[in-house]
Amino acid sequence: MAGLVDVVLGGTFHAAVLFLVAAGLQLVFGVQKIVNLACGSFYALGAYFGITAVSIAISLGMPPLMFFPVLIVAGLAIGLVGFPIERVLRTIYRRDESYQLLITFGLLLMFQDVFRFLWGATPRTMDNVYLAYGTAHVLGVRVPTYNLLVITASLAIALGLGAFLERTKIGRIVRATAENRDMAEGLGIDASKIFALVFTVGCMLGTVGGALVVPSGAASLDMAVELVVESFAVVVIGGLGSMRGALVGALIVGVMRAAAISLMPELEMLSVYLVVVVVLIVRPAGLFGKAAA
Amino acid sequence: MSNHSIDIAGPSAVRRSMPRVSGLWVLLGLIAIMTMMPLVASPYALLLMLPFIGYSIALLGFNLLFGTTGLLSFGHAMFLGLGAYTAATLTSKFGVLSFEVLLLTAALVSGLVALVTGALCVRYTRIFFGMLTLAFGMLFHSFLFKFYSITGGDQGMRVLRPLLLGMEWRGGKTAFLTGPFYYYALALFALLSIAMWRISQSPFGLHLRAIRENAGKAAYVGVEIFRMRLAAFVVSAIYGGVGGTILAVTTGLADPELAYWTHSGNLVFMAVLGGSGTFAGPAIGALAFVLLQDFVMSITQYWRFVMGGVLVLLVLFMPQGLSGTIEALANRRRGGR
């Protein structure tokens, strides 16, 4: 029982972060129809920048308990790099998918060396703050309170994003642009502004995800390329372009990995890809995707 | 002056077939130059040519799928990995050293795996095809990475020096690679280029192009889309396996990175760099990639940044790749005012 709770909690923590990145990927794919391979770089960028921001904050005399909001603000702030990147990407929206994949692949390569230049090749950790909030007991299992905070924050972001897309005027415009760009422009919407907004928000989701995960682990050069395939798995399982799909997909991948790690470590990622393959064969559009995109 | 007008007025069929004919000749010319290289070039330059040959062979296959059939695989490195690990398993676990046996087994294994995975993948096109091939590639990578006892995990597996044509070759590693193995690989490259040329000019190749242009219409006139796509997938996998075997013998090691998704990305990079619309383009891309990477790595540790930047600029300003751009320039000059 305790083992099961452990797996579910660990998996959910991972899923919470994975959801943020995957949600960014979904948002950008839904509106711009671009599969953004650089989403992993945004995640890594958030992680590295989060470490720097927290260490600056602590050296300025901020109490360690403040590091959680610092991380969120740092993630949001560095997410603004999405804006100039969108300027570059906008020239290829109407080109073939292979070019879109390649250009974001190029960005991924470039980012990797930017991290190496700015933060060095050895993994960076953020010490002494992970357990600043202590540990909590959930159904007889001890978990760092921080993990629960991240899960809550991620859920809040999911709900907020949903409300933004469903309830607000801009959200409606975003959905209309996603549905039919030309028609939306015909109705007087400035699609390029919407694209810039959507890409920046998508980028922020990734950087916040990275910033939130880093206290529990380390920021390393490999994390970008590794996360790309994982968030791909989430998106494929959930269905391209669907927010609900990202949430469910992230939970499946997160819990699946946690279960595999505790039962058969060799199957850690293998199990995830197996699920992906099965989903693609049985329901190529994913669990929540629209048929035949 | 009059020459110009004749050129412009020439039937378009001639112009369209001209670059195609030259595609094979470009490759064979390149190979002819490379047979002369051992006379003048340093061993280092020759060692650099071996991965180029391996990648070129793999890309000949990759482009049958991408350029000719219009299917972008983002997991093609799996077949390079299969070829490499086949060579490693046979040489270091079973003591099979004949290079011909290695090549045939690698081709067979890649082809069989492609038959199974392809039957699932080619039912989809566009981004779904790319994602499914990516998933299969990563499935294979995590198998290589985690099953330590079979594959050596992240350490990889050693690939022993093979026998060429049943003969044992003495001398140091460099002497072997830059001598007999170099010529062997080059001859293989020439043979496989001619074979791929025949494939792409055959009715089968025509079917594939028809599928790329308009699958619905092709199906209407009787092209069996599924079987043709699957056949292209299997052929491209066989080329990938052979290319992977050459890469593995060159480095003497099969490691999981060969099957990682970024390696697949590099393959796409090479194809687009050279120009996937032409026959010789991908091989030219492989040459440019290998030389560029070697050069950039020698001057800075931040070579990924430069390569990534090249890729971004390429997509933005030269989407036709090197060969496509050269062709366009030549056409403009020929058809110039």
CA distance B315 to A98: 10
CB–CB of A244/A289 below 8 Å? no
- Contact state of A103 with B139 under an 8 Å Cβ cutoff: no
**pLDDT at res. B4:** 40
Give the CA count within 13 Å in the CB-facing half-sphere of A227. 35
Range A65-70 average pLDDT: 82
Nearest CA to B280 among B35, B19, B46?
B19
**pLDDT at res. B335:** 63
Rounded to a whole number, what is the distance in Å from the CA of B234 to chain A's nearest CA?
Answer: 19
Q: Which residues of chain B make contact with A273, given a CB cutoff of 8 A?
A: 135-136, 138-139, 142
Interface of B with A in 23-82 (CB under 8 A): 66, 72, 74
CA distance A158 to A17: 11
CA distance B72 to A249: 25
List the domain range (segments joined by +) for residue B224. 17-261
Nearest CA to B79 among B33, B124, B111?
B111
User: Residue B21 — very low, low, confident or very high, per pLDDT cuts 50/70/90?
Assistant: low
Q: Which amino acid is at B117?
A: T
**pLDDT at res. B99:** 84
**pLDDT at res. B55:** 92
Interface with chain A: mutation pick from B73, B116, B127, highest number of A CBs within 10 Å: B127
Task: Establish if B327 belongs to a structural domain.
Answer: no
Q: How many CB atoms lie within 10 A of CB A226?
A: 16
For residue B336, pLDDT over 80 is answered with: no
User: Residue B177 — very low, low, confident or very high, per pLDDT cuts 50/70/90?
Assistant: confident
- Contact state of B261 with A229 under an 8 Å Cβ cutoff: yes
- Contact state of B131 with A92 under an 8 Å Cβ cutoff: no
DSSP label of A187? T
Nearest CA to A234 among A5, A8, A25?
A25
CA distance A87 to A109: 18
Task: Establish if B193 belongs to a structural domain.
Answer: yes
CA distance B148 to B170: 32
Task: Establish if B166 belongs to a structural domain.
Answer: yes
Give, rounded to a whole angstrom, the gap between the first and last alpha carbons of chain B. 10
Task: Establish if B303 belongs to a structural domain.
Answer: no
Rounded to a whole number, what is the distance in Å from the CA of A33 to chain B's nearest CA?
Answer: 10
Who has greater pLDDT, A289 or A48?
Answer: A48
Alpha helices in chain A (DSSP H): 2-32, 39-59, 67-78, 82-89, 97-119, 145-167, 169-179, 181-186, 191-213, 223-238, 243-263, 268-282
For residue B16, pLDDT over 80 is answered with: no
Q: Which amino acid is at B212?
A: R
- Contact state of B261 with A228 under an 8 Å Cβ cutoff: yes
All structural domains of chain A, each given as residue ranges with its CATH number in brackets, are 2-282 (1.10.3470)
For the ranges B139-148, B240-249, B325-334, which has the lowest average pLDDT? B325-334
Nearest CA to A208 among A12, A5, A21?
A21
Radius of gyration of chain B (CA): 20
Percentage of residues in chain A having pLDDT higher than 90: 7
Contacts 24+ apart (CB under 8 A), A109-112: A109/B304, A109/B305, A109/B307, A109/B308, A109/B311, A110/B304, A110/B305, A110/B308, A110/B309, A110/B312, A111/A38, A111/A41, A111/A44, A111/A45, A111/A224, A111/B308, A112/A41, A112/A221, A112/A224, A112/A225, A112/B304, A112/B305, A112/B308
CA distance B228 to B240: 18
Nearest CA to A104 among A45, A40, A47, A181?
A40
**pLDDT at res. B19:** 47
Partner residue facing A106 (CB), from B135, B301, B308: B308
Q: Which residues of chain B make contact with A228, given a CB cutoff of 8 A?
A: 261
Rounded to a whole number, what is the distance in Å from the CA of B151 to chain A's nearest CA?
Answer: 12
**pLDDT at res. B113:** 93
How distant, in Å, are the alpha carbons of A2, A91, A235, B122 from that of A179? Answer: 46, 20, 19, 27
| ipTM at complex level | 0.81
CA distance A77 to B93: 54
**pLDDT at res. B109:** 93
**pLDDT at res. B85:** 92
Task: Establish if B42 belongs to a structural domain.
Answer: yes
CB–CB of A244/A108 below 8 Å? no
Q: How many domains does chain B have?
A: 1
* B262 and chain A in contact, CB less than 8 A: yes
Who has greater pLDDT, A96 or A108?
Answer: A108
Partner residue facing A109 (CB), from B128, B261, B304: B304
Residue B222 region, left (φ>0) first, then alpha (ψ -120 to 50), else beta? left
For residue B126, pLDDT over 60 is answered with: yes
For the ranges A32-36, A40-44, A157-161, B268-272, which has the lowest average pLDDT? A32-36
For residue B13, pLDDT over 50 is answered with: no
Largest CA distance in chain B: 72
CA distance A46 to A55: 14
CA distance A209 to A193: 24
Interface with chain A: mutation pick from B69, B78, B305, B317, highest number of A CBs within 10 Å: B305
Residues of A with a Cβ under 8 Å from any B Cβ are: 35, 37, 88, 91-92, 95, 97-99, 101-103, 105-114, 116-117, 225, 228-229, 232-233, 236, 240, 265-270, 273-274, 276-277, 280-281, 284, 293
Range B74-93 average pLDDT: 90
For residue A293, pLDDT over 80 is answered with: no
Task: Establish if B3 belongs to a structural domain.
Answer: no
For residue A262, give every residue at least 6 positions away whose Cβ sits within 8 Å of its Cβ, in sequence order, or none: A3, A6, A7
CA distance B101 to B316: 44
Helix orientation angle between B126-146 and B77-93, rounded to the nearest 10 degrees: 30
A44-A50-A53 Cα angle (round to 5): 145
Radius of gyration of chain A (CA): 19
DSSP label of A131? T
Whether pTM exceeds 0.95 = no
For residue B60, pLDDT over 70 is answered with: yes
Interface with chain B: mutation pick from A36, A92, A280, highest number of B CBs within 10 Å: A280
For residue B107, pLDDT over 60 is answered with: yes
Task: Establish if B227 belongs to a structural domain.
Answer: yes
Task: Establish if B97 belongs to a structural domain.
Answer: yes
Beta bridge partners of residue A22, listed in sequence order: none
CA distance A97 to A95: 6
**pLDDT at res. A279:** 85
CA distance A171 to A168: 5
What is the pLDDT of chain A when averaged over all its residues? 84
Q: Which residues of chain B make contact with A277, given a CB cutoff of 8 A?
A: 120, 132, 135-136, 139
**pLDDT at res. B245:** 92
- Contact state of B316 with A92 under an 8 Å Cβ cutoff: yes
Partner residue facing A107 (CB), from B127, B136, B308: B308
For residue B243, pLDDT over 90 is answered with: yes
Interface with chain A: mutation pick from B68, B71, B129, B138, highest number of A CBs within 10 Å: B138
For the ranges A29-43, A222-236, B52-66, B147-161, which has the lowest average pLDDT? B147-161
For residue B115, pLDDT over 70 is answered with: yes
For residue A85, pLDDT over 70 is answered with: yes
CA distance B94 to B84: 15
CA distance B190 to B186: 6
